[in-house]
Amino acid sequence: MTKVLPDDSLQRGIDTLKSQIDAKVVSYLSSCVHCGVCADACLFYTETGDPRYTPIYKTEPMRKVLRQEYSFWGKLGYKLGFLQPMRESDLKDWEELVYDGCTMCSRCSMVCPIGIDIAYVIRKVKEGLAAAGYSPDDLKSAATRAVEIGSPMGVTLTTLQATIRAQEKEAGVSIPMDVEGADYLCLFSSGEIVGFPEFIGSISRVFKQADLTWTISSDYFEATNTGIQIGSTPIAHQLIERVVAAAEKLGVKTVIMPECGHAYSTMRWDAPNILGRKLPFNVVHILELLENLHTQGRIQFKGGTDARLTYHDPCNISRRGGVVDQPRSLLGSIAPNFVEMKEHGAMNWCCGGGGGVSANSRADALRRKVFAVKKRQLDALGVDTLVTACSNCRNMLEDGLEDNEMEIELIGLTELVAEFLVEDQDTLRAN
């Protein structure tokens, strides 16, 4: 689709990139020694061999603006015509590199010997591109739906209520809505509501067993934040404020983030910085909570699965979120044949669809190509079940397994935990 952009889009992009420059950006970009180590950490480079996908190259628009606007030699070079200033075509080229060829997984940031947080700079590049209008149409539509309807997929309260009714029937529990003074407020991603509604039934059974006071808010239930994915702080800010308003209205102490990677890292780590104030509640990922409830003895398991299974760490939950031990502790109780992928935990390989890539249909072919790294990991283990804890990863893995005709069952960890939950009181007493 041809983009119709206002004439000042280039200047707006440059101005926004300038506004994103902070001490970290300057020190990162001025200390890169171009060693190339980060390239081998990025699945878009390893699986395509295309040097344009090297992580540091994706930061080039920021480097260009820094040189063009703030460096003496840069300014002179542009004046004398030795250097090319930023052009619309640069924004167009990097739009595709950054939105289609980066999942914001941060694996590159882990390996840089200088300690450069490359993903941090790429996130800021996105901010400039989005301000100039250079972001994928699919993401723009998702952001519009998120702002106008409250869900990037257009999921309404009516849809959620219908899903809740179906899950209440299926799980045999009642699911609380708008309970003032509950301890916990649980959010869901639209992807979960639509694609994996059994997650809602599973947590309801677990929370009933643990005797948790929890609720869903009819004012705002969406966990995802399209503002973060597209690179728009104003949109991210607006969506975070909705969570805060819903939590404050109900007076909850803790907000539970569901099986959605970026939703967790956004609320847990980005939200206070974006709002410029402390959140008036704690933020916990569902796996942290489940592990905690199990450790406290508030939930118990009986039996387990014989399957030879492995766990795919969602980048935003493990690498960027720090929730690495909890899933392993839970699996340790119910999956004796659990095996690790060679690269796991903080160094796991991404599913290929994070950072908004999954919502960007233009990137489909590239995303399916880079799944090759996950296929190699799984082939090396010969597992029959794959567990994860992010609905977006789950969709991406589902596509990859299907494309490659891999006979591996895929399941969310929360559902797996609920499968072995002891709900029967006699068994509980006996344990």
Instruction: Give the binding site for ligand SF4 (CB under 6 A).
Output: 32-38, 41-42, 44, 55-56, 58, 102-108, 112, 114, 116, 118-119, 122
**Cβ at position 119, least distance to ligand SF4 in Å:** 4
Output 152 or 353, the one with its CB closest to ligand SF4.
353
**Cβ at position 109, least distance to ligand SF4 in Å:** 7
**Cβ at position 354, least distance to ligand SF4 in Å:** 8
Output 112 or 130, the one with its CB closest to ligand SF4.
112
**Cβ at position 77, least distance to ligand SF4 in Å:** 22
**Cβ at position 30, least distance to ligand SF4 in Å:** 11
Output 150 or 354, the one with its CB closest to ligand SF4.
354
Output 36 or 336, the one with its CB closest to ligand SF4.
36
3-state secondary structure the chain: CCCCCCCCHHHHHHHHHHHHCCHHHHHHHHHCCCCCHHHHHCHHHHCCCCHHHCHHHHHHHHHHHHHHHHCHHHHHHHHHCCCCCCCHHHHHHHHHHHHHCCCCCCHHHHHCCCCCCHHHHHHHHHHHHHHCCCCCHHHHHHHHHHHHCCCCCCCCHHHHHHHHHHHHHHHCCCCCECCCCCCEEECECHHHHHHCCHHHHHHHHHHHHHCCCEEECCCCCECCCHHHHHCCHHHHHHHHHHHHHHHHHHCCCEEEECCCHHHHHHHHHHHHHHHCCCCCCEEEEHHHHHHHHHHCCCCCECCCCCCCEEECCCCCCCCCCCCCHHHHHHHHHHCCCECCCCCCHHHCCCCCCCCCCCCCHHHHHHHHHHCHHHHHHHHHHCCCEEEECCHHHHHHHHHHHHHCCCCCEEEEHHHHHHHCECCCHHHHHHC
Output 44 or 221, the one with its CB closest to ligand SF4.
44
**Cβ at position 24, least distance to ligand SF4 in Å:** 13
**Cβ at position 44, least distance to ligand SF4 in Å:** 5
Output 46 or 71, the one with its CB closest to ligand SF4.
46
**Cβ at position 53, least distance to ligand SF4 in Å:** 7
Output 222 or 313, the one with its CB closest to ligand SF4.
313
Output 33 or 76, the one with its CB closest to ligand SF4.
33
